[in-house]
Structure 1
Amino acid sequence: MNALFPDLVVNGETVPSARIAAETQNHDGPQGKPGVAWRKAANALAVRTLLLQEARKRGIDARVQEVGPGQFETEEEALVRGLLEQAVRVARPTDAAVRAEWERDPLRFRSPPLWEVSHILVACDPRDAEARDAAQARATDLTGQALGNPKGFPALAASASDCGSKSSGGSLGQLSPGDTVPEFEAVLRGLTDGAITAEPVLTRHGWHIIKMDALAEGAVLPFASVRDKIADAMEKTSWAKAAKSFVETLAADAEITGADLRTPVRYAQVP
């Protein structure tokens, strides 16, 4: 035990430091301040330990379930799930509550957009710093040419792109959410009709100059078609709040050292 990495003890049960150290990989923190990730990991394991203690106290008997193809819960995960299924229950939101949520801003509920896109790719391996920088310089020059002559984008793509779409002037056709890598799609969501990216966009494939040839915003969906989706989201939010309250109740009655479940970790609190 030391001031930076104190022992974690929950109701007399000591959590091994090795387990906290392993958990830190799941938590971020500023460079040079390892105590931040450690404190977050300790808090997470304190919660997990409280839940496991409560599950055993209640005699929870939960069978391990498959959570994905060939992937199964651990016994501890099954116990926590079984406890929460028993202890945390929320009512399905009423139709009136769901409609009120929809009426608050119907524009939030749209069908997926449709993007007609062209691009110029300057291929590189982003992990190779030298190649990445060289490709960025070339992509920056091509961006300037594209912005200076938007109508010439197809010809520029045909002569300069490293993508097979160069044969069709850089056209990728019509795209919907999920059709491209996330970093490319994130840019599409911010482009207006006819716009060209002001700076090259880096993805796992290299640098892109992207042109939005046409944009079709998704239509606002009627209440009947989104009612169940809204209800599911509202129920999930209510369940999360109830689960948080349940954990807070357990923590209030527990004796815990080496973690603080009352307040969020602040960088300034940890050396």
Structure 2
Amino acid sequence: MALLSDITVNGRVIPAATIALEAQNHPAPRGKPGAAWMAAARALALREILVQKARALGLVPAPQEVAPGQMETDDEALIRQVLEASVAPEPVDEASLRAFYDADPGRFRAPPLWEAAHILIPAAPGDGTARQAARALAERLIAELAACPERFAALAAEHSACDSRRAGGSLGQIGPGDTVPEFEAVLRSLPVGAIAPEPVESRFGFHVLRLDARAEGAVLPFAAVAPRLRAAAEKAAWVRAARAFADRLAAEASVTGIRLAGA
């Protein structure tokens, strides 16, 4: 089984050049460039098997819009259609969903809420000099607050570029998604009442951050999470059924140049 050679699927040739082009969509581990080629060859072989099955069933391509202004190709439509026609996932067992929830209800909580304050030292993302200066100032403010934490409001009023400076830096009550990810990550781990020991870097600059209060979300009842659990279980069941269907077709196909077993 040589790399960079044609493969055939039930007598239809997939040229090596086509596989090489597809390989760009399959990242390979460092030092194993052949892995991308093999993954691309398997993907193209499996697509060809599915398209051939669709045609054998007499399906006619009916492309659908997959994004604004972007339609499926005929082959993509045939693959979707043959899977819709042939894949029958096992129904979701409601009792198993309940058992999954009951095993650890604490995993299913409403989003947490935080009360926080910050001092924003602004710096544009591409301005290295400004960002270095902003970090240095933020570090000096953190050192000053370590000795005199009650000066937070005054330092916010003096230095912060955020409108919250008028409220002593207070952001009020915020939840997941209300701030940039870097900010939120620190809020999740910072002890209540503490000031982050290092400036928090974001695209806006550097933040001196204090967490004033944290309210963990309440455990959600089963009825509230059941639709989400059901959707996830249905998706997993469909993936298992689709994989089994593709494996059966691959086992029945005559393929040369690539091994599909376990692909």
Q: Structure 2 length as normaliser, TM-score?
A: 0.79
CA RMSD of aligned residues (A): 3.3
* 1:61 shift after superposition: 3.2
Aligned twin of 1:152:
151
User: Pairwise mapping of residues 125-140 of structure 1 onto structure 2 (< 5 A)?
Assistant: 125-129=124-128, 131-140=130-139
Aligned twin of 1:230:
229
1:112, 1:176 within 8 Å by CA — same for their partners in 2? yes
User: Pairwise mapping of residues 159-170 of structure 1 onto structure 2 (< 5 A)?
Assistant: 159-170=158-169
Measured against aligned partners, the alpha-carbon deviations of 1:179-235 in whole angstroms (never above 9, x if no partner) come to 233443344333443343333333333333332222111111111222222111111
Q: Does 1:45 align with 2:44?
A: yes
Aligned twin of 1:79:
78
Aligned twin of 2:120:
121
Task: Name the stretch that deviates more: 147-156 or 232-241.
Answer: 147-156
2:89, 2:240 within 8 Å by CA — same for their partners in 1? no
Q: Provide closer, same or farther for how the CA distance between residues 20 and 152 of structure 1 changes in structure 2, counting only shifts above 3 A.
A: farther
User: What SS does the aligned partner of 1:86 have?
Assistant: helix
Q: Provide closer, same or farther for how the CA distance between residues 139 and 259 of structure 1 changes in structure 2, counting only shifts above 3 A.
A: farther
User: What SS does the aligned partner of 1:189 have?
Assistant: helix
Alpha-carbon distance between aligned partners in 2 of 1:77 and 1:89, rounded to the nearest angstrom: 19
User: Pairwise mapping of residues 203-242 of structure 1 onto structure 2 (< 5 A)?
Assistant: 203-242=202-241
Alpha-carbon distance between aligned partners in 2 of 1:216 and 1:56, rounded to the nearest angstrom: 57
* 1:107 shift after superposition: 0.9
Instruction: State how many pairs are aligned.
Output: 263
User: Pairwise mapping of residues 70-109 of structure 1 onto structure 2 (< 5 A)?
Assistant: 70-109=69-108
Q: Provide closer, same or farther for how the CA distance between residues 97 and 145 of structure 1 changes in structure 2, counting only shifts above 3 A.
A: same
Alpha-carbon distance between aligned partners in 1 of 2:15 and 2:201, rounded to the nearest angstrom: 42
Aligned twin of 1:58:
57
Measured against aligned partners, the alpha-carbon deviations of 1:88-132 in whole angstroms (never above 9, x if no partner) come to 222332321221111011111111222222223333343455554
Identity %: 51
User: What SS does the aligned partner of 2:229 have?
Assistant: helix
* 1:55 shift after superposition: 2.2
User: What SS does the aligned partner of 1:92 have?
Assistant: coil
Q: Provide closer, same or farther for how the CA distance between residues 16 and 143 of structure 1 changes in structure 2, counting only shifts above 3 A.
A: farther
Aligned twin of 1:267:
none
User: What SS does the aligned partner of 2:189 have?
Assistant: coil
Alpha-carbon distance between aligned partners in 2 of 1:88 and 1:241, rounded to the nearest angstrom: 10
Alpha-carbon distance between aligned partners in 1 of 2:91 and 2:205, rounded to the nearest angstrom: 47
Alpha-carbon distance between aligned partners in 1 of 2:220 and 2:205, rounded to the nearest angstrom: 36
Q: Provide closer, same or farther for how the CA distance between residues 101 and 255 of structure 1 changes in structure 2, counting only shifts above 3 A.
A: same
Alpha-carbon distance between aligned partners in 1 of 2:40 and 2:132, rounded to the nearest angstrom: 36
In structure 2, list runs of 5 or more residues that go unmatched: none
Q: Which has the larger radius of gyration?
A: 2
* 1:257 shift after superposition: 5.4
* 1:137 shift after superposition: 4.0
